[in-house]
Each structure stands twice: as structure tokens, then as C-alpha cells.
A and B are shown apart, each in its own frame.
Chain A
Amino acid sequence: MEMTLTKPAALPVVQRSPGYWTTVGRRLLRNKLAMLAALILLALVLMAIFAPVLMPADPYAASILKRLKPVGTEHYLLGTDELGRDMLSRLMLGARLSLFMGITPVLIAFAVGSALGIVAGYAGGWTNTVIMRLVDILYAFPSVLLAIALSGTLGAGVGNALLSLTIVFVPQIVRVAESVTTQVRNREFVDAARASGASSLTIVRAHVLNNVLGPIFVYATSLISVSMILASGLSFLGLGVKPPEPEWGLMLNTLRTAIYTQPWVAALPGAMIFLTSISFNLLADGIRSAMEIKD
């Protein structure tokens, strides 16, 4: 049996509706608070990248004479720390490590956790059971405790801290990924795809990923602020970044005793952590409400 196809010489122009992410993006751009947060974050990132150029002084130059100068001192706009180093420069350079240690664990956990969760969710059966039970064991620890326990035993250092934090976040992302994938898998368009003869890999690639990565991504963004606080917290305890590298959490730690003499200076690094964290949270909230469209 033949069907005559109307194969036109040139395909006529077809009306294209805006895709899902385009719609999300437009909604997000209309959210003023989220956009403000995004701007702040952009400024911080730029500051971190261009710190060596923007810094007014050498962040490592110590001087006993110039210890703990207050805010507004000549040449030292934000004062000096307990070793006489310029606070402004250290805060600027510190942004690098603080942001890096906040974002990287979540990125890695997103990649690893999504992969594990999607496999567990799509495959079901024993694969699912094994993966989820292992996740449950890690989940049985409160995050802070796990991070500190791992960091504490591995020892201080950026690499160890990153590893600990990644391990803390992977189970959380696996749970979300598995849950979302299971829901998607049970929808009829997956059945329809199977009925068309597609292999599991093809189905995951063409039908599951585009439905699943969105929600997982949104969840991951909400973890970044937690990660920042936790990462700086590890440095605060002496478990993350090692001196003399500038990092906001570490700076808070070394300036603790200075709260009696120069409270404003001592509080500055924490204010930076707070600012960054709240901006990430507002942006993540904005993305989440932008995604609450008809699915």
C-alpha cells in the first residue's frame, strides 16, 4: 500500500512556540528580586575573577605595626586583619576560594547524583534498591556532622573539604533524581516510546532527561547557599582552606579574638558569606517559581 507524500520542495515556515526554558527564562527576568540577586552574584563573581587587578594592596603583606586598624583608615579602606594585612584586598581575593568551594561540590554532586538517581529511577528493581539503600546510610547523618566527620578524618585542605562536601550532597541529589525519574518513567509517553521500539538508552536520552534535569537542577541550586555556608564553616573550624590563603570562613576564624578590639573588621568576612548566600537563595527561589508553569 502506498501513501502519497506531499514532499514540498522547500519546507514551509512553521510557527514555533517558545520552548520550556525560554518561558522559564522570561519569567525569571520579570522577577525583580531574583534579578537583583543575580546582579549581586555577577558583581561578586567578577570581583573574584578580576581580584588581582582590583586589589588596592597585597593581600599577603603582613605588618605587626598595622594590626587591626579600623574601617576607614587611610590606605586601608576596610581596615586590617590580625596580621596587619589589608582587609579589602583579602576579601576580594577571598571571594575566589569561597565561591569556588561553595559551587564546586554542588556541581560535582549534581553530575554524579543525577547519573546515579536517574539510573536507579529508570532501572528499578535491584539496581534501585542497592543504590537507594546506600544513599539511606549516608542520609542517616546530619549534613554538618558528616561533612565535619569526613573533613576531620581526612585532614585540612581544599581538596579534602571539596570531597567531604560532595559526599554530603550526592545522597540528597540522588534522592531527588530517583524520585523525579520514577514519576516520569511511569508516564504514558515513556510507554509510547517503548511501544515505538526505542531502546532504554534512547528513551532516557530523548524523553527522560529533558523532563528530569530541570527539577533536579532547581533542587541543586537551592543547595549552593548551604554549600557556601558549610564550606566556609569548615574553614572556620580550621578544616578547609589553610592559612595564609584568604577565604571568608578562615578569616572569620582568625579574627575571632578581634571582636573585642575591632568588632566591625572582624564581622566583615561573615557579612560577605551572608550576602552571597542570600543572593543564591533568592535567585534559586526565583528560578523555582519561574519553573512552576504548566508542566
Chain B
Amino acid sequence: MFYLLRRFIYAIPILLGVALLCFSLVHIAPGDPLVSVLPPDASEDLRRQLTALYGFDKPFLEQFLHWLTRALHGDLGTSIATNRPVMSEVMTAVINSVRLAAVATLIGFTFGCLFGFVAGYFRDSAADRTASFLSVFGVSMPHYWLGMVLVIVFSVFLGWLPATGAGPGGSGDWAWDWEHIQYMVLPAVTMSVIPMGIVARTIRALVAEILSNEFIVGLKARGLSELAVFRHVLKNVAPTALSVMGLQLGYLLGGSILIETVFSWPGTGFLLNSAIFQRDFPLLQGTILVLAVFFVLLNLLVDALQTLFDPRIQRN
């Protein structure tokens, strides 16, 4: 219990540090932050007005605190490019990204567990070596390339699935029907490969380690059935497996930009992409902040759940 409390309290300075880093990003950028707003022949007057409007003339710490207070109230500023509030843009995008990432994680987790269990149970067999090789495959795969290859195979050659986009209604209109899901298949499968590799590796190592424990041999010697042993292994593997899955979900959310770019999926990654190239700093700051905070909170949740499930980690 106290461990959780301490972990929670500890997350606060981390979040502050994260916020500070996000905010500072704009200030490390070379060039004029106003370059995307000001026309090239703007007068000094206009420049001064806009600088004051955006608060760029105030000292750094003051700007930061100002920004932070507003952010805590849900106001992340206005996108320079679209003139819409950043928060709403980010939220729409986040929902899309979460949909995709969740499905991808589920796929990756399921198959990863399968491969991992097979490899761990049948150590050093052909199945093990295949599964291990596949997981190395998954971890070494440049996923953006895999996306392209899948598009080539399933869209260009076979025509079974659409190549880009999130469905007929665009980003705002999602439904769980084939009309829409067909757009999700390729990106989700592509994204699932990395967590699949990592989960497979982790689970293989875990299962092999548990099975080699001396007390398993003792249990078997006393006539415990294979099924019961399997249930026991499952119980021991579950906490770690779930926490790995949680972490992978976080990574996918944070790192989705590459896949979303390939498939033009209207998620946070896509948003990030446009923010970078349009030098839309409020949007950039806001998106990164939301993603990073999400990641920290997710880690915290995973930690908390793991403490609940695994009595050995009761750090008292």
C-alpha cells in the first residue's frame, strides 16, 4: 500500500519535469516561433503585438507557469494552422489512436503469448527455435516498411483491403462494422508485430524459468496433472505478461506516428506530423504533452496493478 502511495507521489515531479521538457521544446527550436503566423513582410508593430499576444516576451519561467496553469484547466491553446482549440483536436486524434493501438496490442499480445508459451514449454525444440526466430523478426522489423509491404500485397496486388484512411466518415465517424474495420486491419496488424515480438520473448523466458523451478519437478513427481501445472504457470506468468502488455500499449500510442503516416490514419501521430511540418507549436506542445502524460499515468497504472496481482512485489 505504502509503495503505491510513494510511487504516486513520486510521479508528480516526473510529470512536472515532463511538462517542462514539452514546453521547452518550442524554445530550443531554431528560428522564429512566429514564423508560421507572421507574413514575411510584417511590420515591427505587428510583430510586437503578436509577440505580446503569445507571451513570447515574458521570462521563461513565467511563460511556463502560465502555460501549465492553463493546461491544467484543459486549455492547451489554439492551433496556429487550423485555429481550433488544441485540446479538442488532440482528443479526437487520441481516440482514434487508442482504437488502433488497443486492437494492435490485443493482436500482438495474443499471438505473442501463443508463441511465447509454445517456445517456453517446448524448449530447444524446432517449435521453440521457430518461435524465437519469429520474435527476433518482429523486434527487428522496421514497421513502417512492413506497413508498405502489406499495402502492396493486400491492397495493390490483391485489392482486398483499402490502403489508407480510417473509413468513409473520416476521423470523426467510427463504427465497429466491416465498412470501417477493413480500414483498421492492415495498420493494426502492422503495429502488432513489435509487441508480438517483445511479448513472445518475455513470456518464453518466464515460462522456461518457471518450468525449470525445482518445485515444479516436485509437483510433477507427486502426480500433478499437466493441466494443473499449466494453470500454475499461467498464474505466475499473468502479472508480468499483463504489465508488459500495458507498457507496449503505451509505447504504441507514443510511437504510432510512423504507422499512422503510412496509412494516413487520423490519430495523434498524424497530428504530430502535420504540427511539425507546419511549425504549429501550440499543437505540437499540446500533443506531446498529452501523449507523455498518458504514458506516465499508464506506467503508474501498470505498476499499481502489478503490485495488486503479484504478492511477491509487496514492497513493504
Instruction: Indicate yes or no for A touching B, C-beta below 8 A.
Output: yes
* Residues of A bordering B, CB below 8 Å: 133, 136-138, 140-145, 148-150, 152-155, 225, 229, 232-233, 236-239, 252, 256, 259-260, 263, 266-267, 269-271, 273-274, 277-278, 280-282, 285
- Whether the pair B25, A145 counts as a contact (CB closer than 8 A) is no
Counting residue pairs across A and B whose Cβ atoms lie within 8 Å, the total is 132
Main SS class of interface, B: helix
Residues in B neighbouring A259, C-beta threshold 8 A: 148, 151-152, 156
Q: How many residues of B contact A (CB 8 A)?
A: 50
Interface contact A256-B276, CB-CB below 8 Å: no
Partner among B14, B145, B254, B258 whose Cβ is within 8 Å of the Cβ of A142: B254
Q: How many angstroms between the C-alpha atoms of A112 and B275 in the bound complex?
A: 32
Q: Are A263 and B152 in contact (CB under 8 A)?
A: yes
Pair B273/A237 contact, Cβ less than 8 Å = yes
Binding site for A on B (CB under 8 A): 13-15, 17-18, 21-22, 25-26, 28-31, 136-137, 139-146, 148-149, 151-152, 156-157, 250-251, 253-255, 257-258, 261-262, 272-273, 275-277, 284, 288, 291-292, 295-296, 299
- A155 proximity list for chain B (CB < 8 A): 29-31
Residue among A145, A153, A233, A252 making CB contact with B291, cutoff 8 Å: A145
Q: Are A267 and B149 in contact (CB-based, < 8 A)?
A: yes
Q: Given that A143-B255, A273-B145 are contacting pairs, would A285 and B250 also be in contact in the complex, using a CB cutoff of 8 Å?
A: no
Chain A hits for B291, CB < 8 A:
142, 145
Chain A interface mostly helix, strand, loop or mixed? helix
For residue A276, give the distance in angstroms from its CB to the closest CB of chain B: 9
* Closest beta carbon of chain B to A46's beta carbon, Å: 21
In the assembly, what is the distance between CA of A285 and CA of B137, in Å? 13
Please indicate the chain B residues that have their CB under 8 angstroms from the CB of A150 in the complex.
25
Question: Are the C-beta atoms of A153 and B26 separated by less than 8 Å?
Answer: yes
Partner of B28, one of A141, A153, A237, A271: A153
Known: A136-B14, A140-B18, A236-B144. 15 other contacts (CB 8 A): A140-B14, A140-B17, A140-B296, A141-B292, A143-B251, A144-B251, A153-B28, A233-B142, A237-B257, A252-B148, A259-B156, A267-B152, A270-B145, A273-B145, A281-B136
